[in-house]
Structure 1
């Protein structure tokens, strides 16, 4: 029997205000956008008015609540991703004695579209809680909000961006931002299978580099070998040298490529502004690629250094006669319960402030 609950991680983000941003909270701006009128109806009353199209991809808020179960004001919803006319691959099970199962592509039923992915979010004031899916991440929600608040409803000018900043958990990184000594980006990188080149001389490279920043740090969402190759290309001076270097790596070895960003100063403390820019600029880097070393701890890249809340969410059931079949879709009302619980826990233990 399938499990009736799904273990998840709820990620915390904070709406980052820049010069020129209105005094209204992010919660207030989303509520105003959903109550704005387009084509004779409020956005919250007609889902098609909330569809944001990017090439062949379509995104829209489907579920939308304005309060928790106890009546506390907030905004909560999801983002659904779909492609018009998408064909879903299926295989037939009617001939088990055959050596293979026929695979075909089937369109969605009439007046329907297949859902690629669904993510959930909750906003209370400027506090944001995200439940990501495999293909919908926090940056997709940032992009959707930018479209909703700037282009669709013009509640924000085009010059202002939407940044949902991550926050390091002080207990897990060993202290406050001032205690961070080094941020390590990267890890094991596995390259694609390539033809072997024989008789290349061995190459040994040892590189140490200090990085100092005074401006915004933006981390492209690259992972694994693509990220590692870009780093090696910069440090070693081109693709040819990277290829030669890779031939010297033993076939059974794991290549670790890491960038260390740290500060060493004897005269004064490092500005919290610079550290905050790192915390924000690296917000969309995968958790598995990030590690923080501080005075009190060295935290491994296991996805736990950013502020987060573990939860178990009820899965929706489908009735088939007398049998209730557990599906894969999460119950939105239970997602809201878990996100509001995360908010109250963080407030109670002082990790965030109302």
Structure 2
């Protein structure tokens, strides 16, 4: 009698093993597919990262502790005006403007010593040698290998700096004559007083008011008046010395600060040149027009300590007395004299005027 094959014999074991192998093969294929999907997703993410890294609106730099550039994005290369490949192993300080290199070295030293993030505004040399203002933010990191690296971000702030300069000029300079305005004049007067106090050199403060300007402005219009102000301001500016300041502090009012001048004898010739410059006839709108100027002068130091505002008031008072005395002249404030005779040193250039308002007499 032949025995029957056991259902649990070798054939069944082989079939079971084959089934398990097929299951494992399917699982491996699924895992491989997931791995491929993950790898593909990682490659897409890396591609997006490098696209964003290169297309970022700021420059990214990685530096070694020696200061050499290890890596840079395209924006950093564009800011520094060289191809990205040419940046590697070059020192970043070579691109920093010489006047700002001390600030850059201080940033790097503080970064290494404290480990705290640092930032600076400085200039770098960009394409074609042009200087570019950047805001530099930096931090220090330790890599997996234990090396220390400096990570830096460069932001182009050239437009911001240009706007700052424009706003600063609007705040401190007269838009018509381009002279310092009242605010900047006050600051320069304070500095001039401090310098005179420190060096012992004198200072003359001259308050200038144009004679007859209102009549010209009313008769010929503001455009002609503005042209005359610009011309008079330019002529008075030209007769001053280097280091002196002329500011426009009102409609037709100016202040001159004459350094190293402590007495009328040292500046009488300069005051006469100011009067002559203001009274020079000029051709405007087919008319030969002319104004003059009344000048009030005061000096620093005096027997009592004074500040800039007090000196301006003294010069202003002397200017009004010059107008009362006949205009087209200067008068000096005399602090020790009674109030009604507090000015001396009158000069009159005696420009002859026609009866027509503001018109210069023919020569």
- Which structure carries more helix by proportion? 2
Structure (1/2) with the larger strand percentage: 1
The higher relative CO (CA closer than 8 Å, separation ≥ 6) is in 1
Question: If you compute each CA radius of gyration, which structure gives the higher value, 1 or 2?
Answer: 2
